[in-house]
Structures are given as structure tokens and as C-alpha cells.
Structure 1
């Protein structure tokens, strides 16, 4: 707790009970975030696997068809992820967040098994990656949703952002597994172990996800949404380390009740089409859905997964030759991503905030991409000659880009899309965002190998394209993205105007004069104990 107070600088940290930052919430977040490692392990391993000589020999991949087959192999998983994220929304709302995460882990293990069991059969590899994609895509939607619904508001950014840290950790570990397998299994050009071992080890994070989540609780907000208030109270009391009648616990429950009541006033029913109406016909909800979609498009158009998937190829185009050396460079790249993401979550996510982090990293990422593009355009590497000084600066920009991404667009997108939706629409909104992310992930995975071959010599135009997108994202954030650090999930309705609309409808139904402003203090002042009323007034001052 002492460390948290030193590094997290927001009002909620000063006023909320210190007991809520106990070990349970951190174990829960880490257990669920193995769902991020599913994603990270694949995007880190597959780029190294497809350049290994033994893999190309096993699947008869020649130079003439390499670009097409590589993009197909990589993007098949993204196709499964797209549909997995959408399907997971229904399962998560119908049966709960926890069972859905367990199912996602099991499906991923099945997909990995198919990939390894059908060694040498390209169709089997495609099927296995498609099945694994269903699990990875489901986890990508469920993990930030589940963590954000359990996390205290003061550290919700850091805990939800652990999803991105686990992605980066998975990328880093898989990079080094690729490197170790290639170095230690001989002969390198014919030993299938060089690529089978990294492929099979993708099951490890899936097993960790299953075991960890098995011992965790259901989301209290999902329980409240399903009118299971008794169990919601019990779970909330357990994860906050507070008694059931504590003012903080009662206040959280009251906010949940009020938000759910506001939503029922606006639409009433809870069928699929009712929820679609609630999302797209109410301006505040529509804006949140569009923001979530926009953030995920922007995240992919930074070009980060272009580097993740094809890092050995990109390092080769920057002058680093040899499979061994290229895999080593990607390993260092993975370490950079993991360390900088951890630094962001510890020092900036809940202090600097989401909006500022997105703004400055948009410019920084764009500058890094343009430096690389200019180097490849005007001083391209020459085979057999040493890398010039400017070439090392361009290589450094690859690592700087990774650091900038982890200080903004990597974790912040997942944090924002999981915290801004209203209660009944949260799963649908996150599923829509995750599916969008996977759709554009698929587009990038398909396009980059061809862009590196056709958009200028050594693909220099690729870096200019992604750099231009990064610069444009500054304006997107400046005009459209609000700051959300330190606010409870239920207060997001206030930011987007939904609370006032629901209150006005409720007043109209009861023949009362509409109020100009809805506050949490007003909601509970006639129903709560004096201590709870004072706690509500304290929270109102923070906003």
C-alpha cells in the first residue's frame, strides 16, 4: 500500500479505504491477464517460426510463394480471433466472465494441439491456428472486461493495463524461445524441433489462465447485472477485504443499482435488439462505441504488430542479416516492450492518465517511424557491408517505437474500452472493440509482407504510412478522448451525458421537474447512513 501511494497520484488513492488494495485483486488480475499472454506468445513466436529453414522445408515454402503463405499462416489466427471475440460477448453475458475465460483457455489448448499434431500438413496448420484464434480472441475481449469490473477505481488503469504487460511478456518470452530453439536443436536446417517446440509451448499460458481463473471469483458487476445482489455483495466484500456493511462496499453496490436503473429507464428490455437500440440510438452510448472502435483501429495502424509479426524480416531490411542474429534482435525488442510497459503501468497509467499518454506517444511513434523510413529510403543497407552509424540510429528507433507504444497506445486502448461502457453494454462494447482490433490486425498481417516488397525499395514507404497514421492519431485523441483516471465505472455515464438523460426521463415519468445535474450524493442522500452520505460527498468533491 505504501508503494502504491507513492507512485499512484490521483484523488481516489487518497480517499478510498487502503484495505481494498489487498493481494486478492492483484492475484485475480494476474491470473486473468494470462489471456493476454496467449496473444503475445503467438504474435512473438510465429514471426520467428516462419523464417526458420526447417519450417519452410517441412511445409515446402519456396521463395516465390513465401510472402503469400506467410501472410496466410499469420492471419488465419486473426480470423479466428475476430469471430472468437464476437461470440465471447454472448457467452460472457449469458454464463458469466469466469466460465467464459475457462472456455477460452481450453479452446486455445485444443488449437495448439491440432497445429502440432498435423505437422507437415498446411491445411492442418490453418485449422489449428483458426481454432486457437477462437480462444485467443475470446480471451482478448474477456480479460480486460473481467479485470476492469473487479478493479478499484484508483488503480484500475494499472490493473487493466496488465493485459498489455502480459502481451508484451508473451512476445518477449516467445522471441527468446525461438532463439533458444534455433540455437540448440541441431541440425538447424532440418530439425523440426526448432519450430515445433515454440509452437507447442503456446499452450503454457493457456494452462496458466485456466488454473488461475479457476480459483478466482465471478465479476460482482456481472452478478449485479443479473440481480444476484447477495452474491455480488459477498464477492465485493471478499475482493475489497471489507465487511459487507462497510460504507465503501455499500456505495459501490448503490452505484451499480443506480446505473442499472438508469439503463432500464432508457430502454427497458434486455434482449439483444434492446441492447443494440441502447447502444446506437442513445448518443452517449453511441459515442462510446465509436470511440472504442476508433481506438482499436488506431492501435493497429501504429504498425506495432507489423513489427511483432515480421520482426526478423524488418531487421533484415535494416541490415541485420542471418536467422540467428535476427532472432536475437527480436528478443531484445521483446525485452524493451515488456520493461517499458511495466514502467508505464507502475508510474503513469493512474497518475499521468490515459489521455496525456496517448497524446505524446502519438507524436513520438510517428517520429520514430519516419526516421526508419528515411534511413531505408536514402541509406539502405547493402549486403556484406557493415551497418553505417545512421543505420544504428534507425535500429534504435525500432526499440524507441516499442517503448513509446507501451507508454500509450498499447495499454491505454484496452484500459479505456473496458471502462467507458455502461453496465449492460460493457461486454458488447468490449467485444466490438476487440473484434475491430482483430479485423485490422488481420489486415496488417496480410498487407505488411507485400508492402515490404512493393512500397519502395526495402519497403521504406511502409514506415512512412504507419508514421503518418501515428501523427493523425494526436488529433483524434485531442478532440474525442476524455480523461477517465480515478473514476468509478459507474461515473462514466456522467462523462457521456447518459446519467442526466436517464434522470430526466425518470423525473418526467413521475411528474417531477427535471434536475440540471445528477450527482452521486443526491442519489443516495435519502437512503444511506450518515457515514455513507459523507463518503458520497467526498467522492463528489473528487470529480
Structure 2
């Protein structure tokens, strides 16, 4: 495994760090936590197809409405209530994970998701339990969306931190792909209420796996250190790094954790929620990182990706694909494209090309696709029962290309950045803030898109032009504001974001290691990034 990684991942940390740290344990930890991400992808994929099934429309009153806007409102409400729950769950995650730890909170989030799934499957045509079930599932999904990246980041070796943290996005798209193909299967092989009850029930599988696997995983060593459980922290770090306790690499990493905690405690003392809030917003470097995290998550949602994820069947129909089964089949292919593209990004780009260049490339590709689709629908809108022209097929291909470009940058890179750039004591709060922002704008997009497709021009062409314009804006946001973080250890993000070296040294009472010095010197142009 280490030999293969060295051929694929190109950064200085990979060249110098011992091969033993890339053992199976660190991958098991990352995959176990990422089943929380799969819950979100699975749910988004399921509900987007389910609301287009005739049996579901009949049961929940989506069939008998002549007004397309009224149908769009009801569909938007059913879909977006999950995101509302995710927003609340993300805000609640910070105090919970700080008090009870990453592992136990992920297990609690899994239980909440399962309760919500049971309520959705048992709703039997009643909107009230459907709304409540989706909200409760959202609480679990939103909570895990905060804790999952933190847990993986705090366990990951620095050289492959991008790969492992980015698996969050890979599990999202894998869950979506499975759900897309599940929807297609039930549309072909089942009828009646089973068509929607089966996919709504099966979406609880990732939450079950999350609970079971986290029950056998360890707590984050950095969390244990923060709670002064030093012996446990060292034992966990020794086990997941697969090194003897006296190995120089392990001693250096453990010392870096201790030095960073000492520095933060001397800076802020015994912190409370309000003192941490003060530190986040009054200290320039922390404020910069918090605003960048918020900006990244707003931008991620304004690409329009979750509009396509959730309403893909309807979008394919708007582009000329006729029949529910055909649109669901196209959605299944869309899911495969996303999974393959995300896997390629994590293997070949996250820790080699880096976060910054990936975001820039992704912005350009997504903007082109959205503009082409919007202009095609505006100039040559699909005609019912007429064959799809060549330009129309290219518009369909652009949906798949858009998905690939999103996975090459804005999908996984955002989660990697928001979980690695904060100071250790502010990481849970920063990720909670970023995740809550993501869910808030996810909610806005999920609620608005059905109405946009129904009202913003024929076949909703203006929807694509709006999202394409946001992609252009995002290019300039990344160009001027986002530094490169690949290969930089978590304990040296302060220097990258502008904390003077002598101040950090004075506070910790120690000097930086040669490895740390090389990492900072490799990014001199980004260490003076302008304040946001």
C-alpha cells in the first residue's frame, strides 16, 4: 500500500515519513466515520427519485394538482426539510463533540438517522410523519457532517490527509449512486406502495454501519490529548501509526500535539464557548480562517450541484429524456460518473495537485457546463415527443461533465480545507460553523430549485445561467483568498495563515522541527494571504 501511495501521491511529507504509518487501521477509521456522509448522499439520491415515482405522487398528493408551482412547493418542502434538520444538527454538534468526544457523538448521530428513516418509511402517505422523519434524519446527518471530517483529519497522517478527509465526499457520491440505481430498480421491478417504501427503508443501512463500526473504533488521539488523557492518546497514536512508542516520527508528532495545545492554553487559558467565540472573531488569523470556511461552503452549494443531485430526474426530463424509468436510468449513470471522478481526484489530485489548483480548475469546468446547458435550453428548448438533437445530447453530456468537475474540486476539497485550516481548539467550532453554513445554503437551493425550474424561463434555463455565474465568481474567490495546504501538518497551519514564527515559538517554548520549516518555506507566497 505504501509503495502504491508513493507512486500516486506527490508531496514532500510522503517522501520523508515512514511507510508503516499507512497501514490498514487508518483507512478503516476513515471509512467507518464516512458512513455518516453516505447517509446524506443516499438520502438525497433516494428522495430525488422517489418524488418522481407515480406511486409516491399518488400517495402524497403530488398528482392531482394542476398548478405546477403548487407541485413544486410541495416537492420542495418534502426534500428540503432534511436540510433544515441538518442545519440544526450541525450547530448542535460543536458543544456535543467537545463534551463527549468524536466517537460517541457519531454513534448518537447514527441512531438519530435511523429513527428518522423508520418514520419516513412508515409514513404511509401522511405528510406530517414524513416531514418529522426527514427532520430527525437531518439532525443525525447534520451532526455527523461536522464530526466526520474532524475525526478523520485528527487521525490521518499528514501526507494523505487530503485523501482520507476527502473520502467524506466519495462516500456521499457513492451513497447517491447506490440510491439512484435503487430508484431505477424499484421503478422497473416493483409497483404500488413498495416502490417508495423499499428505497426509503434501505437508506438506513449506512447509519447502521456507522453505529456498528464506530463502536469498535478508537477515539481521536488529539481529542484525548485535549482532555489531558495523555496515556490514552499516545496508545491510540501508537496503534494507528503502527510504530513502536519510541519511534522518532511518533515522538515528533506527539510533541507537536502537546506543543500546540500548550500554545493555545497559554493564549486563551481555560476557554468557554464565549471565549472561543471571541478568539475566533477577534484574532485576525482565526477570523480569516472562519470567513474562508464560510465562503467555501456557500460557494460549494452555489455551484448548483445539489440541485442536480436531488432533482436530476426532473432535470433530465427538462432536457428531453422522456419516461420516469429513462430519467432514473440517466440519473444512475450520473451517479457512476460522480463516484469515478471523486475517486480519481482523491488518488491523483488531492495531495498532489493540491486544494487550490483543484478548486480553480473545477470552477472553470463547471461554469462552462452550466452556461452551455442554460443557453441550449434558452435557444433550442426540448419539444415533447420530438427526437433530441445533437446539441441536446451534448447538453446531457454536460451534466455528466459538470459532475466530474465538481468532484475534481469543490466537492471534496472544501471539506478537506475547513477541517484542516483551523487551530486545534477552534476546529470543532469552525467545522460546525462551516457545516451549518453548507446545510443552510443546501436548504435554500433544495427549496428554491423546483420553483426556479418552473418559473425562471422556459424549462428553467435561467437556473443554469445563475449557477454558472456563481462558478465564475468562485474562481476569483479562490484565486485571491485560498492558500495551498497540501503536505502542511495540522500543527503548522498557524504559520501558514499569518501567526508570526517567533510568537508561536515563544508560546510553546520550543523550536520548529526541520520538517516543519521545510513545509512553511515551500508556501511563502501564500503565508501573507490578504485578510478577508
TM-score interval for Structure 1 and Structure 2 normalised by the shorter chain = over 0.9
2:4 is matched with: 3
When the two chains are superposed, the root-mean-square deviation of aligned CA atoms in Å is: 1.6
Alpha-carbon separation, structure 2, partners of 1:162 and 1:506: 35
The answer to whether the 8 A contact 2:496-2:520 is kept is no
Instruction: Check the 8 A contact 1:220/1:232 in 2, yes or no.
Output: yes
Choose the corresponding residue for 1:177, options 179, 182, 188. 182
After superposition, what is the alpha-carbon deviation per residue over 1:24-60, rounded to whole angstroms, capped at 9, x for unaligned?
Answer: 0011111111111001001111010001111011112
| Alpha-carbon distance in structure 1 between the residues aligned to 2:136 and 2:517 | 50
Counterpart position of 1:514: none
**In the aligned structure 1, how far is the partner of 2:425 from the partner of 2:125?**
46
Are positions 1:439 and 2:440 aligned together?
A: yes
Q: In the alignment, does 2:374 pair up with 1:373? A: yes
Q: In structure 1, the residue corresponding to 2:485 is in which secondary structure?
A: coil
Which residue number in structure 2 is paired with residue 152 of structure 1? 157
Tell me the residue number matched to 1:358. Answer: 359
Q: Which residue of 2 aligns with 1:420?
A: 421
Displacement of 1:262 in angstroms is 1.8
SS in 1 for 2:280: helix
Shift of residue 538, structure 1, vs aligned partner: 7.0
Q: 1:97 aligns with which of 88, 97, 102?
A: 102
Alignment match, 1:459: 460
Tell me, what secondary structure is at the counterpart of 1:2? helix
**2:481 & 2:36 partners in 1: Cα distance?**
29
TM alignment of 1:108-119, pairs within 5 A: 108-119=113-124
Measure, in 2, the Cα distance between the counterparts of 1:519 and 1:398: 51
8 A Cα contact 1:80 1:131, kept in partner = yes
Q: Is the 8 A contact 1:318 1:391 kept in 2?
A: yes
Deviating more after overlay: 495-504 vs 255-264 = 495-504
**Deviations 1:215-270, CA, capped at 9 Å, x for gaps:** 11100110111111111100000000011121111111111122112222322231
Distance in 2 (alpha carbons) for counterparts of 1:213 and 1:200: 22
Give the superposition deviation at 1:506. 4.3
Contact 1:312–1:326 (Cα < 8 Å) also in 2: yes
TM-score for both structures, normalised by structure 1: 0.93
Residue 15 (structure 1) aligned with residue 16 (structure 2):
yes
Map 1:79-478 → 2, pairs under 5 A = 79-186=84-191, 191-478=192-479
Secondary structure of the structure 2 residue equivalent to 1:212:
helix
Q: CA separation in 2, counterparts of 1:25 and 1:33? A: 12
- Does the CA-based 8 Å contact 2:45-2:180 persist in structure 1? yes
| Contact in 2 for aligned 1:157/1:485 (Cα 8 Å) | yes
Cα distance, 1:349 vs structure 2: 0.7
Instruction: Report the Cα distance in structure 1 between the residues aligned to 2:471 and 2:155, rounded to whole angstroms.
Output: 32
- Deviation, 1:497, is 2.2
CA deviation after TM superposition for structure 1 residue 502, in Å = 4.3
Name structure 2 gaps, 5 residues minimum: 524-532
Q: Is the CA contact 2:487–2:519 (under 8 Å) kept in the aligned structure 1?
A: no
Moved more, 413-422 or 221-230: 221-230
Question: If the length of structure 2 is used for normalisation, what is the TM-score?
Answer: 0.95
Distance of 1:99 and 1:371 partners within structure 2 = 46
CA–CA distance in structure 1, aligned partners of residues 474 and 502 of structure 2: 30
Q: Which residue of 1 aligns with 2:528?
A: none
Shift of 1:498: 3.0
Secondary structure class of the residue paired with 1:274: helix
Q: Is the 8 A contact 1:285 1:498 kept in 2?
A: no
Name the counterpart of 1:70: 75
Note the alpha carbon deviations across 1:487-542, whole angstroms, 9 max, x for none: 111111111123548448749xx9xxxxxxx9513xxxxxxxxxxxx767776776
Shift of 1:118: 2.2
One of 503, 508, 512 as aligned partner of 1:520? 512
Where 1:520 maps in the other structure, the secondary structure is: coil
Q: State the shift of 1:446 in Å.
A: 0.8
Distance of aligned partners of 1:256 and 1:312 in 2 relative to their CA distance in 1, 3 Å threshold:
same
Deviation per CA, 1:424-476: give whole Å up to 9, x if none. 01001000000000000000011101111111111001000000000111110
1:265–1:505 Cα contact (<8 Å) kept: no
Q: Distance in 2 between matches of 1:256 and 1:139?
A: 24
SS of residue paired to 1:321: coil
**Per the alignment, do residues 152 and 128 of structure 1 end up closer, same or farther by CA in structure 2, a change over 3 Å counting?**
same
Structure 2: distance between partners of 1:501 and 1:181: 63
CA contact (8 A) 2:160 2:351 kept: yes
* Deviation digits for residues 257-316 of structure 1 (CA, Å, limit 9, x no counterpart): 221122223222311111111111101011111010000000000000000110011111
1:304/1:402 contact within 8 Å kept: yes
Note if contact 2:92-2:143 (Cα within 8 Å) is conserved in structure 1.
yes
